[in-house]
Amino acid sequence: MLALFMKYDIVIVGAGISGATLAERFANTLQKKVLIIEKRDHIGGNCFDYYNTDGILVSKYGAHLFHTSYKDIWEYVQRFSQWIPYKHKVLAKVDGKLVPVPVNITTVNLLFNLSLKTEKEMIEWLSKNRINIKDPKNSKEAALASVGEALYKKIFENYTKKQWEKDPEELDAEVLNRIPVRTTFEEGYFSDTYQAQPKDGYTKLFENMLTNKNITIKLNTDYFAIKDSLQFDMLFYTGPIDQFFSYNTGEKLEYRSLKFVEETLDMEYFQENSVINYPNEEKFTRIVEYKHITGQKHPKTTIVKEYPSSVGEPYYPIPSKRNKEIYEKYKKEALALEKQQIYFVGRLANYKYFNMDQAFKNALDLFAYLMENKHIK
């Protein structure tokens, strides 16, 4: 039985990217004694992957594709894994056809029976179809300004309603601004300089981050159940920010969840691409087939359908005006706790739609800030 009453230099709530990065930095560079408390039965947070009963490597919380343009983050993650270059592509089933997303020349040709050939022709097509909105204020305006009404209706409107249970007008422009538009035949989903997958999976990468003997990990433990027994110099919290303060306010932030319905099929491949989106009729938003991403050879294949849900684990902060206003109130309370050496880190504690590289960066930036400002005893 772990002596939780023991004093640790650093206590970290959550063993995802944010928690593992801070633990690794404090233990490896400052020889601090670190305790990580994780309520799930595994490390890795939402990046966790594992071999299922058929021996196929799958992600428990949806496919994770690493991409970044931050050179320092790319260098940092290479310390913990070898990486295999992997360029992600997505197709969407629209009007009975499989078309590339982000929209490119092929998408327009297939959906409107055209034969555009050059970037110039595509730019002309877009300029005829785009709606001139200078400073899009929400996700509907962002999509109309980027691809125009017809493509918005076919690819983005219903997918977004399904995924978020909100009209795109209620969501900040940042949600649909995640998806660029291509003026060429380029098929890549991301535009970042570095795009790769960890050779032995994400969980192995986290194991490699957490090898220092000064790091103790306590799984299956909810911070709120044991918080009064903890002694520490510094606390880092990576869970949902409103949960931390819920004792003194009724205001809840909204989160979006997903139900992952996994099936292993007796065939080598189920679909022609790693991810196929279903923007319209189906209740699910996408089907992921992992073997296309991992490159694993196996006679069977595992696919996962993602069904958006308002109940379940909080996977996504929902970037709307209301939620941002509530978050700003919590942020003030969180900043006040810095005097007591309590810090909020990561996607749920910052209530930001972080990609993995942004989560690494957020934790590394905080560590650098604490070092520079001599906040660490």
Give me 320's structure tokens: 């709307």
Q: Which segments of 233-338 does DSSP mark as H helices, in order?
A: 241-245, 291-294, 321-336
Query: Which residue, 97 or 117, is less far from ligand UDP as judged by CB?
Result: 97
Q: Which residues bind ligand FAD (CB under 6 A)?
A: 13-19, 37-40, 45-47, 61-66, 222-224, 238-239, 258, 315, 346-348, 354-357, 359
HSE, side-chain direction, 13 A CA sphere, residue 149: 3
Minimum separation from the CB atom of position 175 to ligand UDP (A) = 5
> What letter would DSSP give residue 357?
H
Report if residue 159 touches ligand UDP, rule: CB under 6 A. yes
Q: Of these partners, ligand FAD, ligand UDP, none, which one is at the site of residue 175 (CB under 5 to 8 Å by kind)?
A: ligand UDP
Binds ligand UDP (CB under 6 A): choice among 66, 125, 156, 343: 156
318 binds ligand UDP (CB under 6 A): no
According to DSSP, the residues that pair with 236 across neighbouring strands are 12, 343
Binding partner at 222 among ligand UDP, ligand FAD, none, C-beta below 5 to 8 Å by kind: ligand FAD
As given in the structure block, the two tokens for residue 216 are: 């103790």
- How many residues sit close enough to ligand UDP to count as binding (CB under 6 A)? 13
| Cβ at position 182, least distance to ligand FAD in Å | 19
Q: What is the spatial distance between Cα 134 and Cα 34, in angstroms, rounded to a whole number?
A: 49
Q: Which does 277 bind (CB under 5 to 8 A by kind): ligand UDP, ligand FAD, none?
A: ligand UDP
Task: Tell me how far the alpha carbon of residue 352 is from its chain's centroid.
Answer: 10
Is omega for the bond preceding 299 within 30 degrees of 0, making it cis?
no
Smallest separation (angstroms) from ligand FAD to the CB of 107: 21
CA nearest to 116, candidates 108, 66, 21, 197: 108
Cβ-based nearer residue to ligand FAD, 19 or 148: 19
Largest CA distance in the chain: 70
| Closer CB to ligand FAD, 108 or 304, in the complex | 304
Out of 11, 43, 92, 276, name the contact with ligand UDP by CB under 6 A. 92
Contact between 359 and 347 under an 8 Å Cβ cutoff? The reply is yes
Write down the least CB distance from residue 121 to ligand FAD, Å. 32
Residue type, 218: K
Residue 359 contact, options ligand FAD, ligand UDP, none, Cβ 5-8 Å cut-off depending on partner type: ligand FAD
Token pair 């023991």: residue: 6
Q: Which does 176 bind (CB under 5 to 8 A by kind): ligand FAD, ligand UDP, none?
A: ligand UDP
Contacted entry of ligand UDP, ligand FAD, none for residue 39, CB cut-off 5 to 8 Å set by kind: ligand FAD
DSSP bridge partners of 260: 306
178 binds, among ligand UDP, ligand FAD, none (CB under 5 to 8 A by kind): ligand UDP
> Within positions 259 to 288, which residues make up the interface with ligand UDP, using CB under 6 A?
277, 279
Strands (E), the chain: 7-13, 34-37, 49-51, 57-59, 66-68, 83-85, 90-94, 97-101, 194-198, 215-218, 231-237, 255-265, 275-277, 286-289, 301-309, 316-317, 342-344
Segment 173 to 202, residues that bind ligand UDP, using CB under 6 A? 175-176, 178-179
At closest approach, how far in Å is the CB of 115 from ligand FAD? 33
DSSP letter assigned to residue 227: G
Residues of this chain that interact with ligand UDP (CB under 6 A) are 92, 101, 155-156, 159-160, 163, 175-176, 178-179, 277, 279
